[in-house]
Structure 1
């Protein structure tokens, strides 16, 4: 790729508005998000993802996680429904879709899969089963360990072409692309573009600055929200924000750009009050409503 990336700045934000909901809107029409993930070791990951989705304006949230964490998660996020999924080896989520999860998948507008899953094989199999649900109006945000699982799911990805958003950091992109991290860092825009074309997806390649590419050749760039965002759970928040915006009717590329901008700008705002290092990922979503159009 030779053309320059468009910066995600105030001009881009103004030119690419998100839907504004008016009177008469219901929680269902504002958007329904399903978040799938978590494990006994990382039971709170979906809290970050789910709260981010709600804070960007999604109207309804369901979270599917291991049974040992489901009740706790429901209490932490009382605005959401919590779905208990069978627990497999090592406290990981069982990679099978039960009736409750299938029903939730049939009813949501956007689904996030991956946060808090610690086993690559489990994440890949769960992703395969989610992608076997042949809906034509479901958008998937694939995050964390689930990203590498897409590598062997090209045919499944083809059915979701134009309805996938991938949110890898360099390590996850290395698994997906087969390139080493140094090669990715040397030309992240080209790597993101190649993956976008290969999988028919919007690719959000995260680093100290972030590049977003889509299969049609669009390329966006965000300079970064500061080093404080390099903290555990930060990516879970970003994935939830993108899914929440998509559920409201925002096109995937615009949702990715807005999600990255909200995430970065929130990091900058929190840094001014808490300091540049040491704030927590769960502090970011509180800033989203202050940055969104009213």
Structure 2
């Protein structure tokens, strides 16, 4: 089994992002639908949506529980807000499936999971919304939507590698049935196994993030610093990757660039603000400049 390759300037130069035509309109720049959030974390989806815009997407729709949707739309005026039915626990109810199906038809990349905490409810949504693969749709599963992914291996494989999972070690433990110590002991194997078994790209997040592809590719990013271990950081990463997917990057390229952009944004803030203490939302403004100048 080959060693992990470094995710560095040379790899990025060899795998560039899609070039945006100067005459393109906002639909042509890519459309993202992000579904997630709950009453106890109503702002999580704001980070994901804004991150998708910062990564270059032209249009973003944010779908969350109805009581939070109006406020979310006001905080991200560039995005459309879609109110969804809410269950008794304050999470997105399975009755939201028809509304989400309709919205998915109008997007190029679909993110499910940021801010969601109910794994059982997320499993119902994953099963219902991923059952009809579309050759021009990329999908990212995050947070609670990851834990159930192994149950739907055959379903995930139908998407022909256009699907991304972004677990941290705890979510990877739930996904694989291993304990977190076992994941930490051999993260390379864990990332590769899930990527190959589920036919997905996997970004296994930690101090050193691993990106594994279903073809056996394995990349290692040295890390953006301990300051990224903060609430909302993963929601930003999910949005950056989704924005790049919507622009037409492959799942592997979008995930690798997303991890690098997220990490280098953390490095910049650490140098300017301090090693720890910067906020996840402060990462957002760093993304566009980093895309224009990939060499730090």
Scaled to the shorter chain, the TM-score interval is: over 0.9
Matches within 5 A, 1:96-107: 96-107=95-106
Paired position in structure 2 for 1:90 = 89
Per the TM alignment, residue 42 of structure 1 is displaced from its structure 2 partner at its CA by: 0.5
CA distance in 1, matches of 2:286, 2:217: 28
Alignment partner of 1:84: what SS? strand
CA distance in 1, matches of 2:99, 2:291: 33
CA distance in 2, matches of 1:10, 1:162: 24
Alignment partner of 2:219: what SS? strand
Paired position in structure 1 for 2:69 = 70
Matches within 5 A, 1:156-195: 156-195=155-194
Paired position in structure 1 for 2:239 = 240
- Give unpaired runs (5+ residues) of structure 1: none
Query: After superposition, what is the alpha-carbon deviation per residue over 1:131-180, rounded to whole angstroms, capped at 9, x for unaligned?
Result: 12342321110001110111211221121131110000000000111111
Between the two proteins, the alignment pairs up a number of residues equal to 293
CA distance in 1, matches of 2:233, 2:240: 11
Matches within 5 A, 1:146-157: 146-157=145-156
Alignment partner of 1:89: what SS? coil
Per the TM alignment, residue 71 of structure 1 is displaced from its structure 2 partner at its CA by: 0.3
Paired position in structure 1 for 2:143 = 144
CA distance in 2, matches of 1:291, 1:41: 32
CA distance in 2, matches of 1:164, 1:175: 19
Alignment partner of 1:96: what SS? helix
Per the TM alignment, residue 25 of structure 1 is displaced from its structure 2 partner at its CA by: 0.6
Per the TM alignment, residue 98 of structure 1 is displaced from its structure 2 partner at its CA by: 4.7
Paired position in structure 2 for 1:286 = 285
Paired position in structure 2 for 1:266 = 265
CA distance in 1, matches of 2:128, 2:285: 33
Q: Which deviates more from structure 2 when the two are superposed, residues 100-109 or residues 221-230?
A: 100-109
Does the 8 Å CA contact 1:242/1:255 hold for their aligned counterparts? yes
CA distance in 1, matches of 2:73, 2:288: 22
Per the TM alignment, residue 285 of structure 1 is displaced from its structure 2 partner at its CA by: 1.2
Paired position in structure 1 for 2:38 = 39
Q: TM-score, normalised by structure 1?
A: 0.97
Paired position in structure 2 for 1:208 = 207
Paired position in structure 2 for 1:24 = 23
User: Does 1:58 find its partner at 2:57?
Assistant: yes
Does the 8 Å CA contact 1:92/1:117 hold for their aligned counterparts? yes
CA distance in 2, matches of 1:164, 1:109: 12
What do you get for the CA RMSD once the two structures are aligned? 1.1
Paired position in structure 2 for 1:4 = 3
CA distance in 1, matches of 2:160, 2:175: 17
Does the 8 Å CA contact 1:20/1:293 hold for their aligned counterparts? no
Query: After superposition, what is the alpha-carbon deviation per residue over 1:202-245, rounded to whole angstroms, capped at 9, x for unaligned?
Result: 00001111001011111100010000000011001001111100
Per the TM alignment, residue 129 of structure 1 is displaced from its structure 2 partner at its CA by: 1.3
User: Does 1:118 find its partner at 2:94?
Assistant: no
CA distance in 1, matches of 2:96, 2:131: 10
Q: TM-score, normalised by structure 2?
A: 0.96
CA distance in 2, matches of 1:7, 1:209: 11
Paired position in structure 2 for 1:133 = 132
Distance 1:10 1:109, change over 3 A: same
CA distance in 1, matches of 2:160, 2:169: 23
Alignment partner of 2:105: what SS? helix
- Give unpaired runs (5+ residues) of structure 2: none
